[in-house]
Amino acid sequence: MIELENVAYSYGGGDLLSDISLRLQPGSFHFLTGPSGAGKSTFLKLCYMELTASAGMVQVFGQDVRSLERDQVALARRRIGVVHQDCKFLDHLTVAENIALPLTVAGRDVAAEMENLTSLIDWVGLKRQQNQLPPELSGGERQRAALARAVIMGPDVILADEPTGNVDWEMSQRLLSLLIELNKMGKSVLVATHDLNLIRTAKSQISARVLRIANRKLQLAGADL
């Protein structure tokens, strides 16, 4: 689904990532760890084509991203749901309208999708908050709204950048449960996190590979995690 082969990314005159290779298979679950500044967010941005590799090849759904036109990139991105670390919303729109925004941008009839939208909002536990404005939400509610917005288009891949970084342990568990449920539905999930306890909890419930970025390289983390 997403494949990186001998990928490097340079920033500020030096390599931030070097000789990175990974294949995300359908239905797989991966965690990505590493110290702050190691390049976890950069790695995710390469996966969803916000950044272009300095060297090597990135393939998304069987297509070399270097050969894609702008409209083809936009179509491919609709198959990738992204939960950013700093989830941003349009504060003048309600929670429901923010979650539905990808449908609007794609030119789809939101009214015709209302049943699915309502079910999704209920699934993430925001039925009571759906008519509120984003500034009224707690950190955990914002993260759940961000996850709902990321999956509203029915993507094949979910990429989450520190989705539990600003919430307490109980909310971390709730968000993890949602990601695991998405994976059991057949979605490929890649979560960048520094929370080793979260990873240990997940590994007790599902089969997940743990990757680590350190010294510009990507490697399989030790079994002691």
Residue 184 token pair: 């059991």
45 phi and psi angles, rounded to 5 deg: -65, -35
Asked if residue 223 has pLDDT above 60, the reply is no
Could you tell me how far CA 30 lies from the centroid of its own chain?
A: 11
Q: What's residue 30's pLDDT? A: 96
Asked if residue 81 has pLDDT above 70, the reply is yes
Whole-number Å distance between alpha carbons of 50 and 42: 9
Asked if residue 183 has pLDDT above 70, the reply is yes
Q: What's residue 222's pLDDT? A: 60
Average pLDDT for 136-164: 94
Summarised one tens digit per residue, pLDDT across range 17-74 is 999 999 999 999 999 999 888 899 999 999 999 999 999 999 999 999 999 999 999 9
User: Could you tell me which of 135, 175, 173 has the C-alpha nearest to residue 158?
Assistant: 175
Whole-number Å distance between alpha carbons of 30 and 189: 6
What average pLDDT does the structure give for the chain? 92
Q: What's residue 53's pLDDT? A: 94
Q: What's residue 5's pLDDT? A: 95
Q: What's residue 78's pLDDT? A: 92
The one-character DSSP state at 85 is S
Confidence band (pLDDT; 50, 70, 90) for 224? low
User: Could you tell me which of 170, 88, 94, 168 has the C-alpha nearest to residue 136?
Assistant: 94
Residue 175 token pair: 């968000």
| CA dihedral for 57, 58, 64, 66, sign (positive or negative) | negative
Residues 16 and 42: beta-carbon distance below 8 Å: yes
Asked if residue 11 has pLDDT above 90, the reply is no
Could you tell me how far CA 19 lies from the centroid of its own chain?
A: 22
Cα 83–Cα 89–Cα 91 angle in degrees, nearest 5: 165
Asked if residue 220 has pLDDT above 80, the reply is no
Q: Say what the pTM is.
A: 0.93
